[in-house]
């Protein structure tokens, strides 16, 4: 097992790793939409989804992987009413065949974010 960490994504805000590389699989912790350079978060859910996915992409890159290696994602939304808007952004980060995915509404996301996204990627 190898810990994956990059300054191109927000640092963990608790006792967890940005990602763990298990050899054939990489498990990326949920990414909230914090811009790692500025430490800020946009208000718009589309911008938040894009930042969360950019953070995932940066962590995957540190592991030597890309978005095409993602096999499963979980999307957490503070408001399921944002589902369509997040889908638009999500589709711009992935191509067919899309990863398997779950999407759920949750009571709250750290720092008051509207979206958090985690993923599992596989090495070929």
Q: Which residues are catalytic?
A: 103
Q: Which of 54, 37, 58, 38 is nearest to 46 (CA)?
A: 54
CB-CB contact of 20 with 27 (8 Å): yes
Is residue 110 a contact partner of residue 13, using CB atoms and an 8 Å limit? yes
């Amino acid at each position: 097992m190898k810990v994956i960490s990059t300054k191109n994504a927000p640092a963990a805000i608790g006792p967890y790793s940005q990602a763990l590389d298990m050899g054939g699989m990489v498990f990326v912790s949920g990414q909230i939409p914090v811009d790692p350079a500025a430490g800020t978060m946009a208000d718009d859910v589309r911008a938040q989804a894009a930042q969360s996915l950019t953070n995932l992409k940066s962590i995957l890159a540190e592991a030597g992987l890309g978005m095409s290696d993602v096999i499963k994602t979980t999307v957490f939304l503070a408001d399921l009413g944002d589902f369509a808007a997040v889908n638009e952004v999500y589709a711009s980060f992935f191509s067919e065949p899309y990863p398997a995915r779950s999407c759920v509404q949750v009571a709250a996301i750290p720092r008051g974010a509207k979206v958090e996204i985690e993923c599992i990627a596989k090495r070929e």
